[in-house]
Amino acid sequence: MSDAETIFELEPPLAFVTLNRPHARNAMTWGMYDALGAACEEVDRNDAIRVFILRGAGGKAFAAGTDISQFQQFKSPQDGVKYEQHISDVLDRLERVAKPTIAQIEGVAVGAGCAISVACDLRVATPESTFGIPIARTLGNCVTGAAYSRLVETIGPAHAKDMLYTGRLFSAADAMRTGLLTQVVPASEIASVVRTLATSIAANAPLTIRATKEMTRRLMAKRRIASPEAKDLIELCYGSEDFKEGVDAFLGKRPPVWQGR
């Protein structure tokens, strides 16, 4: 499951996935999503693993969303629905990992990178880190109901709307204030702080931790939008002229011109 772009490492009782495209700020490719899903399977199979840590290579980014060049392949609204469903499936699998998950965040965690971090149980970041899903000012697309639900559960509806309406990036201080983060620590200390946190969790009763995680997930799941309920909104955005304009503008490094159609 490891390759040049997604490195999976076992250091029992810990496991690590490193998103490894620092030249692209660790923007996610289709293969990286698949590798993340495979890593989740391995973590659950391996009884020696007690905590799963996700991190980005290079110190500048956790993950800067999905690699936008891949969206040039989209031909219809159904391509957007299929993409969002696949991402939803991967993040659902990450959320359902029976072991605690920690996102170790240095730099940007935006778009899908933010969504991946929110699917983890705990998030530890550096003061320089930034967070957001800036699609209202970049691509004009729409994320899944599950991604919206997790964000609202984590930071509340008002802060989620602020983030998504404005497209602005939250600072680490903003993220800590809204409940998105567990800790903010200097970059020079984050690796050791996360390892210490993970090791302390790993030393505790695994079945109690598993029950706590699953109880919380089931509680939150009762409040969520089911995938079919959000399909019309995803089709609305991915089938629009605005989405095509957003992708073209992003790749052309120019501001998009929105038409609302």
131 in a domain, yes or no?
yes
Q: pLDDT tens, 220-249?
A: 888 887 777 888 888 888 889 988 888 889
**What pLDDT is stored for residue 50 in this prediction?**
98
Name the one residue in this structure whose structure tokens are 């935006």: 110
**What pLDDT is stored for residue 230 in this prediction?**
81
206 in a domain, yes or no?
no
170 in a domain, yes or no?
yes
- Cα–Cα distance for residue pair 102/114, rounded to 1 Å: 13
Q: Would you say the pTM of this structure is higher than 0.85? A: yes
151 in a domain, yes or no?
yes
Residues of the chain with pLDDT under 70: 1-2
Domain count, the chain: 1
Q: Which CA distances in Å does 111 have to 6, 54, 163, 205?
A: 18, 16, 11, 34
**What pLDDT is stored for residue 2 in this prediction?**
58
CATH code of the domain in which 181 resides: 3.90.226.10
244 in a domain, yes or no?
no
Neighbours of 158 (CB within 10 A): 10
61 in a domain, yes or no?
yes
**What pLDDT is stored for residue 143 in this prediction?**
85
135 in a domain, yes or no?
yes
**What pLDDT is stored for residue 42 in this prediction?**
97
Identify the domain containing residue 159 by its residue range. 6-188
161 in a domain, yes or no?
yes
Torsions phi, psi for 124 (to 5 deg): -120, 130
